[in-house]
Amino acid sequence: DAEITQSPRHKITETGRQVTLACHQTWNHNNMFWYRQDLGHGLRLIHYSYGVHDTNKGEVSDGYSVSRSNTEDLPLTLESAASSQTSVYFCASAPGTSRREQFFGPGTRLTVL
């Protein structure tokens, strides 16, 4: 069965370190998204991609970057982790026909100390 996976599921890091969160989908979806979920804020869009080599900034992109070298993967990099980036991160993908019908991964809980 097609799926979307995230790794690691839990990560603890220190302020200033570079961290990369992986997202891999086997749906063959063109569209992929990264969100962060924080209490009282719901989900906020960080970055998104509509295809290979395409990346775009979302609502809360400062301090984050993504790259899309193939259809299946969209890794999220925190260049220099900050305590404000402690959050739960969700990756999602959607077919080209309906970018709004998104399939979500299980999430990565990141703690920055």
Partner 1 sequence: AQSVTQLGSHVSVSEGALVLLRCNYSSSVPPYLFWYVQYPNQGLQLLLKYTSAATLVKGINGFEAEFKKSETSFHLTKPSAHMSDAAEYFCAVSGKNRDDKIIFGKGTRLHILP
Residues that bind partner 1 (CB under 8 A): 4, 40-45, 48, 58, 90, 92, 99-107
Give whichever of 47 and 85 is closer to partner 1, judged by the CB atom.
Answer: 47
Q: How far is the CB of 6 from partner 1 (least distance, A)?
A: 8
DSSP state of 73: B
Q: How far is the CB of 78 from partner 1 (least distance, A)?
A: 20
Q: 79: closest CA among 88, 96, 66?
A: 66
Give whichever of 14 and 38 is closer to partner 1, judged by the CB atom.
Answer: 38
Which segments within the chain are labelled E, that is strand?
A: 4-7, 10-13, 19-25, 31-38, 42-51, 54-57, 64-66, 76-78, 87-94, 103-104, 108-112
Give whichever of 15 and 101 is closer to partner 1, judged by the CB atom.
Answer: 101
